[in-house]
């Protein structure tokens, strides 16, 4: 069966063995290209999954931090309250001790030494101040830790979102570059074979066809 192209040139068919070998080569190359694209998609999926894991980890850390921060602030209040409860204890104990000291000095017939009494009371006040300071310091540390944990959780969540976005962009670039390169390589190597339909020759060189056309023209003229 003869075939002509748009210009009227006869398309010379190729031998079946040549066509079969070319088809097999193109099919093998197409399969390899498909596997390359599949590999690129799998790599992109892995990149996207890594970004999602980073985001999920950041979300869990932020959730834990935001839960801990109120607990630490509550603990700070408890520390301050505990310090206030403990503060009156040393002065009361000092007053008791000072009263005993006065009684002992009076019973001995000696005058009461005000310096000794003032020293005992002063120790009580100092102990109360230390208790308040320690409680306040622990409360401050807890509040600072609560603020730091909350900030770290929020910052980590922002970073997780950023890493997820970067991973998504990287995955998209991987797919685009893989498909583009694989398709371009395939088209560059086998595009000519896919669209090459064989050798051509001019219609004017086909003497048998020219003679047949002439006969048909003469026959048509005789009928007119």
Domain locations in the chain?
3-209
Structure tokens of 146? Answer: 């609560």
Mean residue pLDDT across the chain = 79
Residues in the chain: 224
pLDDT reading at 185 higher than 90: no
CB 179 within 8 A of CB 40: yes
Residue 138: pLDDT band by 50, 70, 90 thresholds?
A: very high
Quote the pTM value: 0.55
Contacts of 22 (CB under 8 A, 6+ apart): 193
Residue 21: pLDDT band by 50, 70, 90 thresholds?
A: low
pLDDT at 13: 54
Q: What are 32-83's pLDDT values in tens digits?
A: 878 888 888 888 888 889 999 999 999 999 999 999 999 999 999 999 888 8
For the residues 159-185, what does the mean pLDDT come to?
Answer: 88
Structure tokens of 208? Answer: 């048998």
Closest by CA position to 163, among listed 60, 64, 63, 58: 58
Structure tokens of 7? Answer: 């210009």
Q: Could you tell me what percent of the chain has a pLDDT over 90? A: 29
Q: Which long-range contacts (CB under 8 A, 24 or more apart) does 112-120 make?
A: 120/94
């Amino acid at each position: 069966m003869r075939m002509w192209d748009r210009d009227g040139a006869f398309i010379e068919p190729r031998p079946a063995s040549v066509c079969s070998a070319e088809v097999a080569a193109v099919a093998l190359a197409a399969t390899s290209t498909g596997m390359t694209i599949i590999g690129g998609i799998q790599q992109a999926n892995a990149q996207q999954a890594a970004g999602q894991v980073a985001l999920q980890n950041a979300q869990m850390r932020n959730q834990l931090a935001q839960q801990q921060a109120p607990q630490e602030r509550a603990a700070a209040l408890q520390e301050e309250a505990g310090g206030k409860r403990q503060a009156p204890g040393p002065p009361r104990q000092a007053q008791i001790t000072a009263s005993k000291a006065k009684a002992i000095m009076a019973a001995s017939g000696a005058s009461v030494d005000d310096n000794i009494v003032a020293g005992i009371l002063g120790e009580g006040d100092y102990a109360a101040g230390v208790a308040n300071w320690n409680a306040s310091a622990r409360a401050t540390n807890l509040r600072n830790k609560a603020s730091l944990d909350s900030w770290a959780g929020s910052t980590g969540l922002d970073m997780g979102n950023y890493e997820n976005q970067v991973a998504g962009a990287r995955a998209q670039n991987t797919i685009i570059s893989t498909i583009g390169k694989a398709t371009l390589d395939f088209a560059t190597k086998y595009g000519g074979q896919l669209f090459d339909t064989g050798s051509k020759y001019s219609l004017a060189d086909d003497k048998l066809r020219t003679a047949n056309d002439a006969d048909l023209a003469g026959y048509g003229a005789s009928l007119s």
